[in-house]
Amino acid sequence: MTNHKIEKSSGSVFADLELAEVQELETKAQLAHRIGEIIHGRRLTQTEAAEVLGATQPIVSKLMNGQLSGFSLERLVRFLNALDRDVEIVVRRRPRTRDHGRTSVKVAG
């Protein structure tokens, strides 16, 4: 029997893997997930989604499979706009209870 080491997650797979730019990766993943939900909800094929997004089917395939390395935050926001979603960016002072600012995504409706 193999002895496995179990570690408690920090809550972020990107942080647990000690990747750079954790917040950007988390934000991209959240936006891509929402894009995927919308595409599935509309029952679009990848080809149909590509047409709506102004992209190609292979690009949509990468997005849907979580391969986000070629996607900027700006591009993901443009995709959401193409899917008839408004995206708001709010900048505010961080609370004193945290040591640094953070980026987060909140999905409404």
pTM of the shown model: 0.75
Q: How far is CA 59 from the centre of its chain?
A: 15
The pLDDT assigned to 1 comes to: 62
| 25-30 average pLDDT score | 91
Is 63 exposed, middle or buried (CB count within 10 Å of its CB: 0-12, 13-18, 19+)? buried
Instruction: With a cut of 70, say whether residue 45 has pLDDT above it.
Output: yes
Q: What is the pLDDT of residues 80-92, one digit of tens each?
A: 999 999 999 888 8
| 33-53 average pLDDT score | 97
| 27-56 average pLDDT score | 96
pLDDT band (50, 70, 90) for residue 102: confident
CA dihedral 14, 11, 104, 54 (to 10 degrees): 50
Tell which wins on pLDDT, 98 or 50: 50
| 66-74 average pLDDT score | 93
Q: What average pLDDT does the structure give for the chain?
A: 86
The pLDDT assigned to 67 comes to: 94
